[in-house]
Structure 1
Amino acid sequence: MQRTLITGANGFVGRQLCRTLQQSGQHVIALTSGATTSPLAADQHLQCDIRDADALHQTVARARPTHVIHLAAITHIPTSFADPQLTWQTNVMASLNLMEALRLHAPDAFTLFVSSSEVYGASFRHGLPLDEQTACQPMNPYAASKLAGEIAISEYFRQGMRGVIARPFNHIGENQSPDFATASFARQIARVEAGLQPPVLRVGNLEAQRDFLDVKDVCKAYLQLMGLPSEGAERSRCFNIASGKTHSIRNILETLLSLSPLQINIEQDPERLRPSDIPVAIGSNGAIRQATGWQPVIPLQDTLQRLLTFWRAQVAL
């Protein structure tokens, strides 16, 4: 049986990924940095700070994975500006710790390194769908650290370890932190409905257009990438996970507001405006479609309805 180790299993994507992999019949090993606040859909639970190289070596030796999906990272861009040292330690050095542990204790394991579409950065200014050959021009510490992680891990792939790199575009769904726009909108609407805040939503830049995906579709893409052959050119390939379509943040907000029976006003909050925002970010998914047949299937309306339902339940607790 395939034994898949998921780092960052307690996070937004990790929780859904555990469920997706279990449903596919895999033995899921959930690795978290501390105790989980709610149950995970995993067969085995391990705790380790991946920045601790010695502890990670012991953890990997115990887990004996055949496959690894490396999700653990500092992903919040404002945090990457506020604490770049933590960001680089977590996103780069801890990734090196993982690859070294795998090299010594599970050298045949297949590793999926989850990077980010943010690595393209300034290249998005062209306004066109970007493919994997587009120049990477990071515009924040998070993106720069992810690109550095790609380079470091690609060196292990070059030396013969198995794996691929994924560059997911914006993905949304239940359990995402309200630090991110769509979750913030849904949470605020749920709080207004519950009478916990005035009928006003505080928002950032609503004109930006992004390539949005349902987290469930993204997890299915990861599952497909894990099944790629290990030989030849596939060994060190990089894949966008994108829809090839964009929606404005305003459209997302208006859709969420249409799902509420209340009249809610919008107020722009200067503190929510990101200085490095770009007008349009869209990706080409041609490479992953050709390699695996994957494409997103969940309508955005369905994703947003689930997201609002989730936050209504959270607010009611």
Structure 2
Amino acid sequence: MIGTLTHRILITGASGFVGTTLLQLLEREHGSCEVFAFGHGEGQNPIDLLDQDAVDTAVQKVQPTALIHLAAVAAPSDARNAPRHAWNVNVTGTMNLADSVMRHAPQARFVYVGSSEAYGASFQSARGPVTESAPLRPMTVYGATKAAADLMIGQMAYDGLRAIRFRPFNHTGPGQSDAYVVSAFARQVAEIASGKNKPVIKVGNLEAERDFLDVRDVVRAYASAATMDLEDGPDHVYNIASGQPRRIHDILDMLVAQAGIDIEVHTDPEKFRPNDISSAWGDASKARDKLNWSPLVPFEQTLSDVLGYWHRIYSAR
């Protein structure tokens, strides 16, 4: 067990939206940890997850007590447009990391960040929030790659990998790419509020319901998993969810209200996602009980912070 040893945390995907937020949290609240950031940001170490020798070298050099694996083809649209690349990065890249940890740092905790999209069609038959026991029935390329890696890491836990698997639901926050719905809405609202565009927003399916979290709450779960002393075993799989479905239309209305402007909403059939699920929400009681985790940031605050981020960008232009 890790015990009182100094935590040495290796993070892949450290330059991404979630990785950047995680680094800020670790610096602010876990200052005694040594953090090794692997990504493409300034001062970080780039690593090709498909290069087993490069992965081995990194793990051998760092000798982490925990590895938080964030690197992925993370946007569902990117995975849909380049499925072979998504499978290579999200599955083979994860295998390379986990295999290297088992061989070169066997005492390290392996924190795998999956996705609620792995549940897929299970949402269609669910009569409430899904638990971790729901079947993985992915309906998208992205969901399938994350489900496959999730199952792989679960199997490797039986072989001795000290794994924790997370299945986070939709999360957002300031700095997120506008490839995701909340940030996309906020960018357009801020653009209109700054006078740089006409007061019209084109949207896809506004009736879908999703379970939204603040990214700052999500990374608390990852940091805790990397630093907590937990019993080993294959059952460490956790939903990270608010337990509250929110209609996409209501989120747009809240952003418009916060901006204090009038906007026309036009439906664009091209913005509808294939295989769209009407409602997807999760039960995170297991994370609450086992990891002492629960969301803390009010959703209204999350939206205000995302909108404020885009307001600052457009006011500076």
Deviation of the 1:292 alpha carbon: 1.8
Secondary structure of residue in 2 paired with 1:259: helix
Residue of structure 2 in register with 1:202 after alignment: 202
Question: Who is 2:170 aligned against?
Answer: 170
Instruction: Tell me the secondary structure at the aligned position of residue 46 of structure 1.
Output: coil
- Rounded to whole Å, the distance in 1 between the matches of 2:261 and 2:150 is 45
Count of matched residue positions in the alignment of Structure 1 and Structure 2: 308
Structure-1 separation of matches of 2:279 and 2:228: 31
**Distance in 2 (alpha carbons) for counterparts of 1:172 and 1:127:** 25
Please show how residues 152-171 of structure 1 align to structure 2 within 5 Å.
152-171=152-171
Question: Deviations 1:258-287 (Å, cap 9, x if unpaired)?
Answer: 011321111112221012111110100111
Relative to structure 2, which stretch is displaced further, 133-142 or 22-31? 22-31
**Is 1:312 matched up with 2:290?**
no
Contact persistence 2:115–2:169 (CA under 8 A): yes
* Percent of residue pairs bearing the same amino acid type: 38
The amino acid that maps onto 1:14 is G
Distance 1:94 1:164 in 2: 17
Match of 2:25 in 1: 20
**Over aligned residue pairs, what C-alpha RMSD do you find?**
1.5
Inter-partner Cα distance in structure 1 for 2:104 and 2:59: 7
User: What pairs up with 1:115-126 in 2 under 5 angstroms?
Assistant: 115-125=114-124, 126=126
User: Hey, what does 2:8 align to over in structure 1?
Assistant: 3
Are 2:111 and 1:134 equivalent residues in the alignment? no
Q: State the 4+ residue runs in structure 1 displaced beyond 6 angstroms.
A: none
SS at 1:47's partner residue? coil
C-alpha distance after superposition, 1:119-167 (max 9, x if no partner): 1101111241100011111001111111110122223211112121000
Match of 1:87 in 2: 86
Match of 2:76 in 1: 77
In structure 1, C-alpha distance between the alignment counterparts of 2:153 and 2:311, rounded to whole Å: 40
1:219-238 to 2 correspondence within 5 Å? 219-233=219-233, 235-238=234-237
- Residue 98 of structure 1 corresponds to 97
Measure, in 1, the Cα distance between the counterparts of 2:14 and 2:127: 34
Question: Paired residue for 2:37?
Answer: 30
Q: Report deviation, 1:51.
A: 1.8
SS in 2 for 1:102: helix
What does residue 289 of structure 1 align with? 288
> Aligned AA for 1:87?
A
Q: Deviations over 1:28-56 (max 9, x none)?
A: 21101x3x2xx5xxxx7321121222212
- Tell me the amino acid that sits aligned with residue 261 of structure 1: G
What amino acid sits opposite 2:15 in the alignment? N
Q: Could you tell me the TM-score, scaled by structure 1's length?
A: 0.93
Alpha-carbon contact 1:127-1:280 (below 8 Å) kept? no
Contact 2:67 2:110 in 1 (8 A): yes
Partner secondary structure for residue 112 of structure 2? strand
Letter in 1 for 2:90: N
The Cα shift of 1:195 comes to 2.2
Kept in 1: contact 2:7–2:227 (CA 8 A): no
- Which amino acid is 1:211 matched to? D
1:227 Cα deviation after fit: 4.0
Match of 1:59 in 2: 58
Taking a change above 3 Å as real, the CA distance of residues 311 and 127 of structure 1, as seen in their structure-2 partners, is farther
Q: Residue 303 of structure 1 aligns to which amino acid in structure 2?
A: T
1:243 and 1:296 in contact (8 A); partners too = yes
In structure 2, the gaps of 5 or more residues are 1-5
Q: 1:63 to 1:185 in 2, by over 3 A?
A: same
SS at match of 2:152: helix
CA distance in 2 between counterparts of 1:150 and 1:72 reads 14
Q: Report the alpha carbon displacement of residue 104 of structure 1 after superposing the two structures with TM.
A: 2.5
Q: Distance in 1 between matches of 2:248 and 2:14?
A: 28
Residue aligning to 2:3 = none
Deviations along 1:181-216, one digit per CA (max 9) or x if unpaired, are 100001111111222221111111111111110000
TM-score (norm 2): 0.93
2:250 maps to amino acid: N
Deviation at 1:230, TM superposition (A): 4.2
SS in 1 for 2:44: strand
Residues 158, 236 of structure 1: 8 Å contact kept: no
Matched AA of 1:9? A
CA separation in 1, counterparts of 2:307 and 2:65? 37
